[in-house]
Structure 1
Amino acid sequence: MSAPTPALAAATTGPSPRRPAPRLRTPRRGGGSRARRSPLLTVLTALVGIYALVPLAWLVVNATKTQGDLFSSFGLWFGDSFALWDNIQATLAYDDGVFGRWFANTVLYVVVGAGGATFLAVLGGYALAKFDFPGKRAVFAVVIGAVAVPGTALAVPTFLMFSQMGLTNTPWAVIVPSLISPFGLYLMWTFAAEAIPGELLEAARIDGAGEFRTFFRVSLPLLAPGIVTVLLFTTVATWNNYFLPLIMLRDSTWYPLTLGLNAWNAQAATAGGEAIFNLVITGALLTILPLVVAFLFLQRFWQSGLAAGSVKE
C-alpha cells in the first residue's frame, strides 16, 4: 500500500492550530536602562553654569546704567534709570565713531584670518587623512607639538620677524599669524578620517572625477560639521585676540575691539583723562553679541562636529 501524499495527509489531519504571535517584552521601569542621576555632578554643573552666566548677567545689567549708577547701585541689579539705548548711542558716537572702525577691523581680521585658517585647516586635514606620503608621522608630531605650544609664547618671535619685514603696525601683522591654527588642523584631520569613507572616494575616482572635483563635490559636504566647528573656534580666538594686536599695532585706527575698549578703560588712569566706564561696559556687551548669535545659529553643526568619531560603528 502506497504512502499518503502530503495533500491527502493535510486533508485527513485537518488544519494545524495557529501559534500565538510572540509578545514583545516591555522594558521594566526603574531598570538598568534608566539614566542615573548623580547629585555631585548636578551640583558641579550648576556651579559651572553660575560661574559662566554671572559675568554675562553683570554685563547686561550694568550696560543699562549711567556713569553715576555704576558706583551707587548694586552690581547685579538695575539702577535708578534705564540708559541702555543712550549708552549704545554714546558708544557708537564717541570719539568720532571710532568704535565702528574698531568693529570693522575686527570683522576684517575674523573674515580673512579665521576664514583663511579654517580653509587651510580643511585642506591640510583632508590631505593628511586621505593621502599617504613620506614623512606623514613627522607631520603628525609637528602638529601635536604646535597644539601644545601657547600662542603667547610665539608672540615675541613673531613680532621680531614681522619687524624685520616691515609689516608691524599693519593689518597683515594680525591676519597672517591668525592663518595658522594647529588645533583646527588636528581637528579636521581626525574628523576627515572618520567622516569620509575611502570607498566613496574610490568610486568617485573610478567614475572619472579628478581630485579637486572629488574634494569639492564629494568630500566637502561631508566635512560641513567639522568645518563649522573649526570656524567657530578660530572665530572666537581671532575675535578675542588681545596680546598679538597689542604688540603689533601702534596706530589706534587699526585696533580691534579688544584693544580699543582697553584703551577707553585706561583713560581714567591718565592725567586729564575722561572716565567712560559706562561706554566700556556697553561696548563689551556689543562686542560679545555677534559671538553669541553665531553660537546659537551654528550650535547644531558645532555639537555634531564635536561628537563625530566618538562612537565606533
Structure 2
Amino acid sequence: MALVFSHAAFAGHVTPPGHPERVDRLRAVEAGLAGLEVDRREAPLADLDAVTRCHPRAYADRVAAAVPKAGWAQLDGDTFLSPGSLEAALRAVGGTAAAVDAVLGGTAEKAFVACRPPGHHAETAKAMGFCLFGTVAIAAKRALDHHGLSRVAIVDFDVHHGNGTQDLLWDEGRCLFASSHQMPLYPGTGSAREQGAHGQIVNAPLPGGSGGAEMRRVYETVIFPRLMDWRPELVLISAGFDAHADDPLAGLEWQAEDYAWLTTRICEIAADCAAGRVVSCLEGGYDLAALQASVAAHVGVLAGQG
C-alpha cells in the first residue's frame, strides 16, 4: 500500500479560463486513484523557510507578496497567481516533505503527492511554466540535509524538461537528476551536454512521435544504468503525464501502460538499492482522461496493484 498526500487547498490555485493547468486536473487524478488501495494523508502547510532550501528568501517573499486579493496576478507568460495559490504551493512543498519523512521513517515504502501547482520549471529566482517553487528539488534537499542521506536520485518523466530542478540542483553533488523529455519543446533546455557541476545530471531528449518503444530503449540504455550506478538511498519522481498520446501540449505518443512499465522499473531499481523507497510528485498532464488513466497506472504500481 502506498501513501497518497492531497489537500482541498490544491483546488484553491485557480488559473484563468482556458489555461491547461486547471482545477479539473485534480478531479481526474482523484478518479485515477479511485479503487486503489492507498493510505490517504493531508498535505501539511510548509512555511517559506522550507522554500529556502533551494530558493533565495527574497524570491520566496516576492512570490508571496505578488498573490492578489482577487482575480489573478501574472508572473510570466503562462504562470498565474490567484488568492489561494500560495497556500497550494506551500502545501505541495509540505506534502512532498511529509512524504519523504514518512518513507524514510518507515511508515510506508512508497508515496504519491497529488498536488498542484507543479514545480519542476521553477528556477532559482524565477517562476515559469506554471510553476512557483521547485517542489521535488526542495524534497531532495530535505532528504539530504534533514535526514542525512548521502545519495538521492530524481527521475523526471514529464514531457517537458525540468529546467528548474536542474537549475536548483546544478551544484548539488549528492543528487542525481535524470530527465527524459521531448526535444525540441518548451522550455528549450535539456540537451545531453547539460551534465551538472559534478556530472550528476543526465538528460535524455526524445524526438516527437517516438513513442513508448523508444522511451523504453532510452531508459534501459541511458537513464537506468546511471541510476543503478548511483545507488540512491531514496528515489524521487517528477511524475508528469503529458507525454501521453492524447495530451494537447506535446507529442511523445506514450500510453498508460508505458507509465506502468516505467514505474515498475524504477521501483525494481529502488528495491535493489534504496530499500524500495520511492516518493512521486505530480507535475504535468493536461488531457483529463489520459491523466486519469496514467495516474491509475502509475499509482497502481506504487501501491502494489500494477
TM value normalised by structure 2: 0.24
Whose helix fraction is larger, Structure 1's or Structure 2's?
1
Whose strand fraction is larger, Structure 1's or Structure 2's?
2
Larger radius of gyration: 1
Which protein has greater RCO, CA pairs closer than 8 Å, 6+ apart? 1
